[in-house]
């Protein structure tokens, strides 16, 4: 059963995400990014959505679960890993569609979180 705190946490996470997007839009109005990184920008913005929503839930949680905290850390590691891979693919001139980039990034985050939590449960 979904608790009220989880719903409010998701709403808080979406609010934090909207603030991040607004700040990035303000910055990009004064600075146009080079064409080389424009294919990476959708991932940099959309890859944060699930992480920030879960972080919002973590902030409002009464008892901070180690599993939730571990999930946030592992998810962020997956986000950084896919960002680095995208940059490396761009450097070797490998083209990847933006939609596939986002989908693969989410799959990587999910795989790292699931495998990481399963591995950590043995300890």
Q: Can you give the pLDDT at residue 44?
A: 81
Q: Can you give the pLDDT at residue 72?
A: 84
Q: What is the mean pLDDT of residues 81-87?
A: 92
For the whole model, what pTM was predicted? 0.76
Sequence-separated (6 or more) residues with CB below 8 Å from residue 14: 52, 53, 56
Q: Which of 30-34, 99-103, 110-114 has the lowest mean pLDDT?
A: 30-34
96 to each of 16, 23, 72, 103, how far by Cα in Å?
Answer: 29, 27, 27, 11
- Taking the CA atoms of the chain, what radius of gyration do you get in angstroms? 16
pLDDT at residue 70 above 60? yes
Q: Are 58 and 68 in contact (CB under 8 A)?
A: yes
pLDDT at residue 36 above 90? no
pLDDT at residue 82 above 90? yes
């Amino acid at each position: 059963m979904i608790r009220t705190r989880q719903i409010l946490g998701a709403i808080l996470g979406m609010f934090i995400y909207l603030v991040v997007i607004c700040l990035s839009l303000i910055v990009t109005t004064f600075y146009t990014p080079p064409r080389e990184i424009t294919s990476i920008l959708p991932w940099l913005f959309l890859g944060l959505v699930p992480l920030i929503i879960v972080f919002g839930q973590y902030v409002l949680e009464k008892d901070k679960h180690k599993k939730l905290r571990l999930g946030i850390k592992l998810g962020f590691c997956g986000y950084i890993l896919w960002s680095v891979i995208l940059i490396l693919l761009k450097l070797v001139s490998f083209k990847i569609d933006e939609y596939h980039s986002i989908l693969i990034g989410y799959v990587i985050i999910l795989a790292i979180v699931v495998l990481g939590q399963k591995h950590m449960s043995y300890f």
